[in-house]
Amino acid sequence: MLYLSTRGDPARKRFCEILLEGLAPDGGLYLPERYPQVDAATLARWRQLAYPELAFEVLSLYVDDIPPADLKAICAKTYTPEVFGTKEIVPLKKLEDGVCLEALSNGPTLAFKDMAMQLLGHLFEYELARRGETLNILGATSGDTGSAAEHAMRGKQGVRVFMTSPNGRMSPFQQAQMFSLQDENIHNLAIEGVFDDCQDIVKAVSNDLDFKRRHRIGTVNSINWARLVAQVVYYFAGYFQATRSNVERVSFAVPSGNFGNICAGHVARMMGLPIDRLVLATNENDVLDEFFRTGVYRARSGLDTFETSSPSMDISKASNFERFVFDLVGRDAATVRRLFADELPGKGRFALALDPRFGFVSGKSTHADRIATIRDTHQCFGVVIDPHTADGLKVAREHLQAGVPMVVLETALPIKFAATIAEAIGREPARPEHVQGIESLPRRVEVLPADVNAVKSYIEAQLA
């Protein structure tokens, strides 16, 4: 399998090259040259498999530069009951008739990002050892991504993480998840500024090609193809649990921010998994809902992005959206380049003809919806859901069809957003054993000014 850039760069690359590279040199995103097709016989065979074997089968279609035995071993050590809590890894939980939750948040940091990031940690360690190289990951986080990356990379050979976050702006629980790590290869940089400042610093360092090469700087952001393909696996696993035979159709509802999670659903559907609809749910930051209702895309600036009670979806420009647009315009890279390249503030506006064949529908959920959904899910089913999952469930219910099960992806556990849960049900949610008392553990964090040079000097001092 070879990979191409959505913006038309003529190079074709293999999986392990794009694993460490991230963005294509022309600024585009990598996609496979074609989507491998999964036929009825294959689906029937996959239905019998345990999660790590299913992951191996899906990945094998996309990875041909890691020997199968090694890839199989990587999947086996990634998706274990010890790390993800159950042997199903992503069990379904039934709510009302025809609606269930798919639990994706029982990994180390209690959000679905662990599903892909844990695999990425093992893949990085494997590939870097094979090349005899090291990598220094520089990232920016407002919460979930940073902790998932740090917990995936902690203690891994050949990898160091420098994670910037806005000082004092993450929830106490999120801060504790990151800052309590004592591993030597993990560096927390609390920046005196907001999330956008962190992101600007990471961009500025990445644009300094000399610094980047000298210090072997890499990223783990959500445009990484390996993360996306890891997420494809749980659409298959959810489908098999929600159905008895492979002629049935299932819809998935996905709380969306950067369009990474639902893009994996799009890929699974393109491979031939019988997905009826992909229901995209946004919060008050509804750029994507607007697009899927009207065909008009208007990326917003950071200033026009609301702070909401489902903060992991507070995104003004969805970084994976370009992948779907590439397919929507018939894989015409020239068009994609025109729509996305050199996006300046105020640009990134276009209108496209929607195509119902892709199965997308959408909706939006507000703070009041979220609170009401958390409350009534607790009252009716005794289940406490997090605010992002609540957005997904609220929009899912607007798109139910008789005879088509709806699987709502649970993207975090409620304990990560305890204040909103308390507002909805009058008490804090239950806390899993392994995160009891983490707020009082000793912290390892460096506070730095919102200044690129301060971050560069810090990195250089650590690598010296």
Ligand X SMILES: *Cc1c(COP(=O)(O)O)cnc(C)c1O
Give the pairing type, strands 159-166 and 296-298. unpaired
Pick from 261, 285, 308, 309 the residue near ligand X by CB under 6 A: 261
Pick from 412, 421, 435, 459 the residue near ligand X by CB under 6 A: 412
Determine the Cα–Cα distance for residues 281 and 296; give it in Å rounded to an integer: 17
Determine the Cα–Cα distance for residues 43 and 41; give it in Å rounded to an integer: 5
Determine the Cα–Cα distance for residues 76 and 93; give it in Å rounded to an integer: 24
Question: How many of the other CB atoms lie within 10 Å of CB of 173?
Answer: 19
Question: How many of the other CB atoms lie within 10 Å of CB of 162?
Answer: 23
Residues 442-461 interacting with ligand X (rule: CB under 6 A): none
Active-site option among 113, 364, 394, 456: 113
Pick from 28, 32, 52, 257 the residue near ligand X by CB under 6 A: 257
CA proximity to 264, closest of 107, 44, 113, 73: 113
Pick from 32, 107, 260, 405 the residue near ligand X by CB under 6 A: 260
Cβ nearer to ligand X, comparing 136 with 256? 256
Tell me how many residues contact ligand X (CB under 6 A).
16
Pick from 147, 165, 224, 256 the residue near ligand X by CB under 6 A: 256
Residues 299-328 interacting with ligand X (rule: CB under 6 A): 312-313
- CA distance from start to end of the chain: 39
Q: Is 32 in the site for ligand X (CB under 6 A)?
A: no
Q: Is 147 in the site for ligand X (CB under 6 A)?
A: no
Binding range to ligand X, per CB under 6 A, among 82-90, 199-207, 243-251, 258-266: 258-266
Cβ nearer to ligand X, comparing 32 with 107? 107
Q: Is 108 in the site for ligand X (CB under 6 A)?
A: no
Residue 416 known to be catalytic:
no
Buried b (16+ CB within 10 A) or exposed e, 188-223: bbbbebbbbbbbbbbeebbeeeebeeebbbbbbbbb
Angle between helices 144-153 and 113-131 (to 10 degrees): 40
Cβ nearer to ligand X, comparing 128 with 409? 409
CB 180 within 8 A of CB 438: yes
CB 106 within 8 A of CB 254: no
Pick from 72, 113, 337, 399 the residue near ligand X by CB under 6 A: 113
Q: What residues have CB less than 8 Å from 428, skipping those under 6 apart? A: 415, 418, 421, 422
Provide the minimum distance between the beta carbon of 373 and ligand X in the complex, in angstroms, as a whole number. Answer: 14
Cβ nearer to ligand X, comparing 128 with 176? 176
Residues 346-405 interacting with ligand X (rule: CB under 6 A): 388
Task: Output the CA angle 21-344-449, nearest 5 degrees.
Answer: 70
Residues 219-248 interacting with ligand X (rule: CB under 6 A): 222
Pick from 46, 235, 259, 340 the residue near ligand X by CB under 6 A: 259
3 state SS of 344: coil
Provide the minimum distance between the beta carbon of 353 and ligand X in the complex, in angstroms, as a whole number. Answer: 24
Binding range to ligand X, per CB under 6 A, among 124-132, 185-193, 254-262, 345-353: 254-262
Cβ nearer to ligand X, comparing 158 with 265? 265
Pick from 24, 111, 140, 149 the residue near ligand X by CB under 6 A: 111
Phi–psi pair at 51, nearest 5 degrees: -55, -50
**Strands across the sheet with 99-103, in order?**
92-94, 99-103, 406-410, 250-255, 275-282, 360-364
Q: What is the contact surface with ligand X in residues (CB under 6 A)? A: 111, 113, 144, 222, 255-261, 312-313, 388, 411-412
Q: Which residues are part of the catalytic machinery?
A: 113
